[in-house]
Amino acid sequence: MSDLSSEETEETEAYLGEYDGERDSEGERHGRGKAHLPNGDTYDGEYEHGFRSGQGTYTFSNGARYTGGYLQNKKHGRGIFFYPDGSKYEGEWVNDQRHGYGEYTYANGDTYTGEWFNHHRHGQGIYVYKETGSKYVGGWVNGNQEGEAELIHLNHRFKGKFVNGNPVGRGKYVFDIGCELHGEYIQSEQDKGEEEEEEEPSLLFAPKWKALEITKLTLWTPHGENPPSPREASLPSLHEASSEVFSPASVAGEEDEGSREEEETQDQEDQGEE
């Protein structure tokens, strides 16, 4: 996601295209104006000494459109970008990058609302899966789910830690029926062996959940020392509760291939505005 994409890349206007608007004493575009570029793109907005600066709307020949702030030909400040596939980003920009706080709506209906850093989901954010209604609330690093988080499903939640989109270590499932299943996600020996052979961790095998104890609802969180120990006879058996649990990786990993591909494609669009 580091590369900007052709849809979001605008042409330099200094000596290109037709221009109708205000100019300064040096003859540079300055004030309000409209430009028609050789590639079919158009810009209607504010200029400052020859640069798009201020508020404006840039329409791409492929149907993409950006409306918002500019600073020296770069998207800067608040703005909204509409992509040809129906997805959109609305939020803060810095130096042509999604940076700050914003909401991305993907073509499949998924949404991410939260912090961005240099075009990546980074910091704290909420990803909502349109198809299932599940929701990931927590940390992100360079576009991946990472850090302490909560994965919320229809009738239960998982609280724990994630690394590169997968749950790791201690965590707990909280069920709406009034109990918690404490345990940990561990990596299989097969996974470990593969990781030693590869430069990057293998994503072919999801971590395995190891159930440890069932308790009543508590305030224990992933960074607590130990889960409470007393068991309640009225609570379901460990086997019964374990059978209800689905790996958070199955949903977190869904994040979703479509949305990741869309962002990667759209990042290639950002470079057209040079």
Q: How many residues does the chain have?
A: 274
Q: What is the pLDDT of residue 202?
A: 40
Confidence of residue 40 (pLDDT cuts 50, 70, 90): very high
What does the alpha-carbon distance between residue 184 and residue 4 come to, in Å, rounded to a whole number? 39
Q: What is the pLDDT of residue 59?
A: 97
Q: What is the mean pLDDT of residues 204-209?
A: 74
Residue with the larger pLDDT of the pair 49 and 10: 49
Strands (E), 60-178: 65-71, 74-82, 88-94, 97-105, 111-117, 120-128, 135-141, 144-152, 156-163, 166-175
Q: What is the pLDDT of residue 72?
A: 95
Q: What is the pLDDT of residue 274?
A: 39
What does the alpha-carbon distance between residue 59 and residue 73 come to, in Å, rounded to a whole number? 14
**Weakest-pLDDT range from 6-20, 95-109, 228-242:** 228-242
HSE of 67, CA atoms in CB hemisphere, 13 A: 2
Helix, strand, coil in percent for the chain, rounding step 5? 15, 45, 40
Which class does domain 108-188+207-219 fall in?
mainly beta
pTM: 0.77
Confidence of residue 7 (pLDDT cuts 50, 70, 90): low
Q: What is the pLDDT of residue 196?
A: 39
Q: Enumerate the domain spans of the chain.
A: 16-103, 108-188+207-219
Q: What is the mean pLDDT of residues 246-266?
A: 53
Q: What is the pLDDT of residue 199?
A: 36
Q: What is the pLDDT of residue 217?
A: 82
Give yes or no for a contact between 274 and 16, defined as CB atoms under 8 angstroms apart. Answer: no
Confidence of residue 216 (pLDDT cuts 50, 70, 90): confident
Confidence of residue 193 (pLDDT cuts 50, 70, 90): very low
Q: What is the pLDDT of residue 8?
A: 64
Give yes or no for a contact between 88 and 80, defined as CB atoms under 8 angstroms apart. Answer: yes
Confidence of residue 218 (pLDDT cuts 50, 70, 90): confident
pLDDT exceeds 60 at position 34:
yes
| Mean pLDDT (the chain, rounded) | 80
Task: List residues bridging with 120 in a β-sheet.
Answer: 117
**Weakest-pLDDT range from 14-23, 181-190, 262-271:** 262-271
Q: What is the mean pLDDT of residues 192-203?
A: 40
Q: Hey, CA dihedral for 36, 37, 39, 44, is it positive or negative?
A: negative
Q: What is the pLDDT of residue 249?
A: 47
What does the alpha-carbon distance between residue 1 and residue 263 come to, in Å, rounded to a whole number? 7
Residue pLDDT, tens place only, 117-137: 999 999 999 999 999 999 999
**What is the fold of 16-103?**
2.20.110
Residue pLDDT, tens place only, 153-167: 999 999 999 999 999
**Burial annotation 88-115 (CB, 10 A radius, 16+ → b, else e):** bbbbbbbebbbbeebbbbbebebbbbbb
Residue pLDDT, tens place only, 234-245: 444 555 545 445
Instruction: Calculate the alpha carbon distances from 117 to 99, 105, 133, 159, 244 in Å.
Output: 5, 17, 26, 25, 37
